[in-house]
Amino acid sequence: MAVATVKATFDVYRFEPGKDATPRYDRYVLDLPPHTPVLTALLKIRAEVDPSLSLRYSCRSAICGSCAMQINSKSRLACQAPIGPELARDGRIVIEPMRNQPVLRDLVVDQDGFWQNYRKVEPHLILDPRLPMPEGRENPMTPEEVDRFKETPRCIACAACYSACPAVEADPAFPGPMALAKLYRFVVDPRDRGQQDRLVRIQTEGLWLCLRCHLCTEACPKDVRPSERIRDLKELAIAAQGATEYGSRHAVAFKENIRARGVLNEMKLARQTMGTLGMVGQIPQGIRMWRKKPEFLRAPHAIEGEGEVEKIYEALDDHKTPEDLP
């Protein structure tokens, strides 16, 4: 059975730090069926054209997490990305190493930082000797308790989310989407005895640095939805400790602020987030803002249909997450 092929152009990032002055892009053109995964194409290039192309790969079935890379500027698993749609959209396929991790060579990146961030969230069950595991039998766990893990057990640590994350790029204190999704997995585990400590600690160790851009969820090849689990962690952290950080105070203040008038009172928001003392440090900024936009100091008028806002809040309070809303 003959399968129609397409002419596929690959521009592949090549770089060996210390040896090459700058990265270059090598072009390879192959005839391939459109459903060919990018990984298969790269292995064909290695086998038939250039054996010096360096990349990580193993399972070729999206379960080992080795072959994440930038494919036409998106962080994806090469084994899971067929060439057809890429060619149809962009006309060629640009292959680059993942972002937010230093390049070792070509498509191989140094993942030490990624793994260090993963270890920061103490990714193991925290036990309490006063509450021992049941002798000789499993801990009982209901199917509903298993459902609380959501999709986090599917994570294959491919680092596609880490590569896609602007907060990782901006702030070394942010542990990254994968580490936080992993933290969520332990926080909801009924066998774990460290939930409270974990939630308190993460409030000051990066939880509120997430930018809520959801690029991690878009990049994740296993539908782990890290940004949604980060949101869950934020709610759980506030429930566990209250709003103690700029980030959590800001979130709570924002919510109450809107609830009050249906529109944001920025002065109040800043004061509730930073406290009156914290506001003192913001005076120079305030003066600059006042020059440009003096009306920001005035309390906003209530919006029309203010009562509707309260109804929305009541509906949200009854339901844990927006997904649960009818």
Partner 1 sequence: MLKHEVVVVGAGLAGQRAALAAVEAGRDVAVFSKLHPLRSHSGAAQGGINAAVGKEDSVDTHIYDTVKGADYLGDQDAIEFFCQDAGPTVVEMEHFGTIFNRAADGSLARRPFGGAGFPRTIYAADRTGLALLQALWERLGTEEFTLYEEWDLTSLIVREGAVQGIVAFDRRKGDFAAVAAKAVVMATGPFGRVYGRTTNAHSCTGDGVAAAYAAGATLKDMEFVQFHPTALVESGILITEGARGEGGILKNALGERFMAKYAPHVLDLASRDVVSRSIVTEVLEGRGYPGGYVHLELMHLGKEKIESRLQEICDVARNFAGIDPVTQPIPIFPAQHYMMGGISTDIHGATSVRGLFAAGEAACVSIHGANRLGGNSLLETLVFGKQAGIAAASYATSAATPSLKEGDLDAATAPLRAWSSRTDGEDPATLRTEMQRVMDRYVGIYRNEADLLEGVRQIREVKKRFARIRVADQSKIYNVNLSDALEVGHMLQLAEVIVVGAYARTESRGAHARIDYPQRDDAHWMKHTLASKGPDGPQLSYSPVAYTRWEPKERVY
Q: What residues line the site for partner 1 (CB under 8 A)?
A: 1, 16, 19, 35, 37, 46-48, 51-55, 57-66, 80, 104-106, 108, 111, 115, 119, 123-125, 133, 136-143, 145-146, 149, 153-154, 156-157, 189, 191, 222
The CA distance from 166 to 210, in Å, is 9
- Residue whose CB is less far from partner 1, 147 or 304: 147
> What residue has token string 């521009």?
11
The CA–CA distances, whole Å, from 126 to 198, 217, 264, 291 equal: 10, 27, 41, 53
The CA–CA distances, whole Å, from 42 to 50, 70, 130, 196, 319 equal: 10, 13, 54, 46, 47
CB of 17 to partner 1, least distance (A): 8
Contact 69, 99 (CB under 8 A): no
CB of 216 to partner 1, least distance (A): 18
- Residue whose CB is less far from partner 1, 140 or 281: 140
Side chain identity at residue 249, one-letter code: R
CB of 285 to partner 1, least distance (A): 44
Nearest to 177 by CA among 198, 162, 199: 162
- Residue whose CB is less far from partner 1, 45 or 168: 45
- Residue whose CB is less far from partner 1, 104 or 267: 104
- Residue whose CB is less far from partner 1, 55 or 243: 55
CB of 2 to partner 1, least distance (A): 11
The CA distance from 214 to 56, in Å, is 26
Task: Please compute, for residue 74, the number of CA atoms within 13 A of its CA located in the half-sphere on the CB side.
Answer: 18
The CA distance from 272 to 292, in Å, is 23
- Residue whose CB is less far from partner 1, 148 or 261: 148
CB of 319 to partner 1, least distance (A): 23
> What residue has token string 């800043």?
270
CB of 165 to partner 1, least distance (A): 19
- Residue whose CB is less far from partner 1, 6 or 264: 6
CB of 77 to partner 1, least distance (A): 9
305: alpha, beta or left, given left = phi > 0 and alpha = psi -120 to 50?
left
Element (H, E) at 59: none
